[in-house]
Amino acid sequence: MSEVIVITSGKGGVGKTTTTANIGTGLAYLGKKVVLIDTDIGLRNLDVVMGLENRIVYNLVDVVEGNCRVKQALIRDKRYPDLYLLPCAQTRDKSAVNPEQMKKLTMQLRDQFDYILLDCPAGIEQGFQNAIAGADRALVVTTPEVSAIRDADRILGLLHAYEIGRADLIINRLRDDMIKRGDMMSAADVVDILSADMIGCVYDDEAVVVSTNHGEPLVLGDSLAGRAYMNICHRILGEEVPFIDLEKQRSVWFRFTGLFQKSKGGQNV
Amino acid sequence: MNFRRLFHKKKSKDIARDRLKILLISDRLNCSPETMELIKKEIAQVLSRYIQIDPGRMEVEVSKRKINVFW
């Protein structure tokens, strides 16, 4: 059974592309056949985050317009033979593709892949409509800021209206120090406000910038964000990975036992 | 709760949460905060006709499918 997952957010710059790259790589590491589709026509970025920008020959618009076969446009990842990228056109705009065509394309790809991940552009216009057209479920990325949360709420409403079966939250760029001070909403606060299910929370991590600099997703490394993304991959596969209450970890007992657990990686995110 | 409020300044995350709660309700219902204030006032008027309430302390909570009134 293949699954088409759209990664969306409404607001720009919250980490959709990073999330798509890392979840895609993580699922490929776990032995799944995965294709990542960049649907942000005119502002493509998934190729650079994946470090595959030099291999692009054909793109999504070429496929849809029939200039090439799907196979010709798919770029094989340099790390995993079962991970592919379908880049989008840089010199066209969102109207070059319509939702019907996207639906057809995802149907075609279902035969060959276990997971089809769509990196959605910011906004709720045609680019968004294209990206969600063929999706079975959605991952809504947000950060603990008012603007991102408001947009996420709007997106959740639209996904419901378009009858996307399931939408889960990924709360990105949490900062433990600010949450402790009371200057940032916690993951629990965001979940409460949006009343949606959370599939993962990712702490703000410098390693994300470093990995993007290299064009290597960090999901395979031992960074905090990398582990969080790997946990999300396991949850997508239906495995139960517990969220450890960070509040609890700060209690005296956990601080004490935490001294011995640090090497094991106490924070489960 | 009130005890804590006396001694602590409100944290910025609480301000964010409170603002968002109002904002999302008006977004979801597609009506402005002023309209919501009017709805609240009218509910208070209707209720006070039949039961004793303090309109100043009345709180209305709106979620996607239900409206709770506290007084």
**Domain-located, residue B31:** yes
* pLDDT of A101 above 90: yes
Q: Tell how strand A83-86 and strand B59-62 pair up.
A: unpaired
Lowest mean pLDDT among A24-33, A122-131, B3-12: B3-12
Question: A260 pLDDT exceeds 60?
Answer: no
Residue B28 lies in a domain: yes
In a domain, B23, yes or no: yes
Report if pTM > 0.90.
Answer: no
Residues on A contacting B at a C-beta cutoff of 8 Å: 145-146, 149-150, 153-154, 157, 179, 181-186, 189, 193-195
Tokens of A69: 């076969």
* Distance of residue A135 Cα from the nearest chain B Cα, in angstroms: 24
Q: What pLDDT sits at residue B63?
A: 64
Give the range of the structural domain holding residue B34, as residue numbers without chain letter.
11-70
Percent of chain B with pLDDT over 70: 83
* Average pLDDT rounded to a whole number, residues A205-214: 96
The helix (run of H) or strand (run of E) holding residue A19 is helix A16-29
Q: What is the pLDDT of residue B25?
A: 84
- Domain made up of A3-264: CATH architecture: 3-Layer(aba) Sandwich (3.40)
Helices marked H in A32-145? 46-50, 60-65, 70-73, 99-110, 126-132
Q: Is B1 part of any domain?
A: no
Least confidently predicted of A34-43, A54-63, A112-121, B52-61: B52-61
| Structure tokens given for A214 | 């290299």
- Please spell the DSSP secondary structure of A185-227, one letter per residue: --HHHHHHHHT-EEEEEEE--HHHHHHHHHT--STTSSSHHHH
Number of Cβ within a 10 Å radius of residue A63: 23
Our CA-based measurement puts residue B12 at a distance from the nearest CA of chain A, in whole angstroms, of: 5
Q: Give the 3-state secondary structure of residue A130.
A: helix
Q: Is B28 on the interface with A (CB under 8 A)?
A: yes
In a domain, B42, yes or no: yes
How many distinct structural domains can be found in chain B? 1
Q: Is residue B3 part of a domain?
A: no
C-alpha A129/C-alpha B62 separation (Å) is 29
- Look at residue B66 and tell me if it is in a domain: yes
ipTM, interface predicted TM-score of the complex: 0.80
Contact between A207 and A224 under an 8 Å Cβ cutoff? The reply is: yes
More confident residue, A114 or B57: A114
Q: Do A185 and B28 touch (CB under 8 A)?
A: no
Calculate how close chain B gets to A245, using CA atoms only, in Å: 18
List, in order, residues 6 or more apart from B6 with CB less than 8 Å away. none
A93/A95 Cα distance (integer angstroms): 6
Contacts of residue A97, Cβ cutoff 8 Å, sequence gap at least 6: A39, A41, A60, A61, A64, A130
Assign A229 a pLDDT band (cuts: 50, 70, 90): very high
By residue count, chain B amounts to: 71
At A248 the pLDDT is: 53
Which of B17, B23, B63 comes nearest A150 by C-beta? B23
